[in-house]
Structure 1
Amino acid sequence: MSAQGIGPGYYQGMPNDDYHKGPGVSKSQLDLLHRSPALLQWSRTAPEDDEKKTALNIGDACHARILEPHRFEAEYAVGPDAPRNTKAGKDAWAKFAEEAGDKTVLTHSEGRKVELIRESVMAHPHARWLVESAGDVEASIYWNDEITGELCRCRPDKALPEMGWLMDVKTTADMGKFSRSAYEFRYHVQDAFYSDGYQAHFGEAPRAFLFLVISTSIECARYPVRLFSLDAEAKDRGRFGYQQDLQVYHECMQAGNWPGIETLSLPHWAA
């Protein structure tokens, strides 16, 4: 299913690349516009380094292994537990490279880490229940914003429409600093934006938006797993934030002008 010419609705099976290159404005695009409208236009036209696009993203590997095991099998290959400086090891890696094709290669230790992280998630009873419950992984929601009329889109990691829940998987290098990361990466804006998109399609707000947070760093020999939901104040601030950004987006679209000068302030300690 292609995203070109798509209208408001709930779509399953849309390729990820088509979604990201298709019409409508997303939360990640609003993040760029929040810094500078010109950055949104830059992101659409700046050349990409194809060699770097295939670089390992441990977060995506974990996401795929947990929620999309079929995609993990199709896109990732775990290397053999064999040293490359021995004949047997070289032979094993040569055979592996031939079989892996154009898949993203994980070393044996990286593959082991991804598997341990998945098992850590499944050891958390509520997280396991969410992962195993019936729902739609990577479904795409499109809607027209009521105020600006602009086409918006979001792609929750997992939607559970029967329960009215949305879930997003996040990885963090430091679980203790996740609350700060949630603000810096504007997860409160994501919560409000996705929730309003859900409501626009299903006619009611989701009963819960949950962040399944996984640490990629060891603590006490384990990879910590936590489930969070944002409080009402955070959701309200997120809604106010995305509505401001969407109004700027609408004005830029109407005028065909995307300002690019950012104001830089001295750090607080410089005073």
Structure 2
Amino acid sequence: MQPGYYTTLTNHDYHHGEGVSKSQLDLIDKSPALFQWNQHAPEDQEKKSALNLGDATHALLLEPERFTTEYAIGPANAPRNTKAGKAAWEAFEAELHGQTVLSADEGRRLHLIRDSVMAHPHAKWLLEAAGDAEASLYWIDPKENVLCRCRPDKTIPTLGWLVDVKTTADISKFERSMYDYRYHVQDAFYSDGYAAHFGEPLNGFVFLVVSTSIECGKYPVRLFVLDAEAKAAGRTAYRVNLATYADCLRTGEWSGLETLSLPYWAKERL
């Protein structure tokens, strides 16, 4: 894979191809051996085929054609223990081509979430702005000389903006989730990848956060950007992880031990 900006690369080819991604740096941050484990551990296809609400929401918001291809909403008011319901489900299933089946209630919920996002004027503008959904960026890190990659949810090259859609069960806890899931690392890593390819700094990285839980009868929607301190911390963290990755490639040694410390509340009892 050569450095570049790819708008037609499939999700499968991206995730099974060359280059180190932010999610892989997350594994290296815990233990370099987890990078190799993730590549070779078998997947439970039965569990993998279960409804992934986050992916379904992403698809409906960013790639409606993919949503139609990969998901199908079952008939409403059609209990399988009735003659009419059984007939409705048989007719529905006869038209399936490997899609993940959503119940009518799941489909209703997903469309409410989408409509909630589109009710937010700035979120709607970001999703409808001319750009590329799920484009892939590849670049060579100038310091470590390794191939890096990222796949922003939405790239708007004319504005120099990236948009990342996050789903959360509790939007009030997103500030904590941001740190726990290392979204500040994602911001810095993606921003540097954008600058490496387009030759100019990113103007804005926006987290479009939508709740999958109801508050006051609605699904909350918020837009966040990180401050300079968070971005700098993210850049420092990913540079450490990238250096570890490059060293593992050079030496062929992928350490697997993780060090545990007593939690703060246990230390207070000593």
Scaled by the length of structure 2, the TM-score of the pair is 0.97
How far does the alpha carbon of each residue in 1:127-162 deviate from its partner, in whole angstroms, 9 at most, with x for none?
000111100111100000011001000000000000
The answer to whether residue 183 in structure 2 is matched with residue 187 in structure 1 is yes
The answer to whether residue 11 in structure 2 is matched with residue 44 in structure 1 is no
Moved over 4 A (4+): none
Q: Secondary structure at the match of 1:142?
A: strand
Report the alpha carbon displacement of residue 205 of structure 1 after superposing the two structures with TM.
Answer: 1.0
Whole-Å separation in 2 of the counterparts to 1:60 and 1:49: 17
- Which residue in 1 is equivalent to 2:15? 20
1:45-84 to 2 correspondence within 5 Å? 45-81=40-76, 82-84=78-80
How far does the alpha carbon of each residue in 1:192-237 deviate from its partner, in whole angstroms, 9 at most, with x for none?
0000000000111110000000000000000000000000000000
Whole-Å separation in 2 of the counterparts to 1:136 and 1:203: 18
Whole-Å separation in 1 of the counterparts to 2:97 and 2:246: 44
Q: Secondary structure at the match of 1:100?
A: coil
Whole-Å separation in 2 of the counterparts to 1:104 and 1:239: 37
Report the alpha carbon displacement of residue 87 of structure 1 after superposing the two structures with TM.
Answer: 1.4
Whole-Å separation in 1 of the counterparts to 2:34 and 2:179: 20
Of 255, 259, 264, 1:259 maps to: 255
Report the alpha carbon displacement of residue 101 of structure 1 after superposing the two structures with TM.
Answer: 2.8
The answer to whether residue 118 in structure 2 is matched with residue 122 in structure 1 is yes
Whole-Å separation in 2 of the counterparts to 1:98 and 1:31: 42
Whole-Å separation in 1 of the counterparts to 2:192 and 2:252: 27
Q: Which amino acid aligns with 1:254?
A: R
- Which residue in 2 is equivalent to 1:207? 203
- Which residue in 2 is equivalent to 1:100? 96
Q: Secondary structure at the match of 2:27?
A: helix
Whole-Å separation in 2 of the counterparts to 1:101 and 1:153: 32
Q: Which amino acid aligns with 1:68?
A: E
Whole-Å separation in 2 of the counterparts to 1:84 and 1:188: 47
Of 127, 135, 138, 1:142 maps to: 138
Q: Secondary structure at the match of 2:95?
A: helix
Whole-Å separation in 2 of the counterparts to 1:94 and 1:35: 48
Q: Which amino acid aligns with 2:100?
A: T
What is the root-mean-square deviation of aligned Cα atoms in Å?
0.7
Report the alpha carbon displacement of residue 266 of structure 1 after superposing the two structures with TM.
Answer: 2.3
Aligned residues with identical type, % of pairs: 65
- Which residue in 2 is equivalent to 1:89? 85
Whole-Å separation in 2 of the counterparts to 1:216 and 1:190: 22
- Which residue in 1 is equivalent to 2:150? 154
The answer to whether residue 236 in structure 2 is matched with residue 243 in structure 1 is no
How far does the alpha carbon of each residue in 1:48-93 deviate from its partner, in whole angstroms, 9 at most, with x for none?
1121221110111111111100000111000111112211111111
Whole-Å separation in 2 of the counterparts to 1:267 and 1:225: 34
Q: Which amino acid aligns with 1:164?
A: G
Whole-Å separation in 2 of the counterparts to 1:80 and 1:144: 49
Whole-Å separation in 1 of the counterparts to 2:43 and 2:94: 27
Q: Which runs of 5 or more structure 2 residues have no equivalent in the other structure?
A: none
Whole-Å separation in 1 of the counterparts to 2:6 and 2:171: 33
- Which residue in 1 is equivalent to 2:3? 8
Of 254, 263, 266, 1:270 maps to: 266
Q: Which runs of 5 or more structure 1 residues have no equivalent in the other structure?
A: 1-5
Whole-Å separation in 2 of the counterparts to 1:64 and 1:48: 22
